[in-house]
Amino acid sequence: QKEVEQNSGPLSVPEGAIASLNCTYSDRGSQSFFWYRQYSGKSPELIMFIYSNGDKEDGRFTAQLNKASQYVSLLIRDSQPSDSATYLCAVNRNYQLIWGAGTKLIIKP
């Protein structure tokens, strides 16, 4: 079992709909959780981070963390074609960041 797991996709969502991306992790001691977006051929860039159980909202993005079930999710409301990218989940374990393989999201106009 990988330490951080994501569905590789692709996940296809119509423009204007809600895109839901999920990530599960195995280390119960993990404290910090991150969502990064990576366009093809580019570097990852931070979308959101979350430390506490519950929801955290930033514009069209909402991160949800459930430590008991060991999953973290990212919701993208009013999806735009520019949201088409690979979304990487990362979990802080001690002094390291452990990354999922990413979910490819395609927003269809």
Name the residues that contact other proteins, by CB under 8 A: 4, 8, 31-32, 34, 36, 42-46, 49, 88, 90, 92, 94-102
CA–CA dist 18, 92 (Å, integer): 27
Q: If we measure between CA atoms, which residue out of 107, 91, 101, 89 comes closest to residue 22?
A: 89
Nearer to other proteins, 40 or 109 (CB): 40
**Minimum distance from CB of 33 to other proteins (Å)?**
10
Question: Is residue 102 within 8 Å of 44, Cβ to Cβ?
Answer: no
CA–CA dist 68, 47 (Å, integer): 23
Nearer to other proteins, 60 or 93 (CB): 93
CA–CA dist 90, 104 (Å, integer): 15
Nearer to other proteins, 19 or 50 (CB): 50
**Minimum distance from CB of 42 to other proteins (Å)?**
8
Nearer to other proteins, 88 or 105 (CB): 88
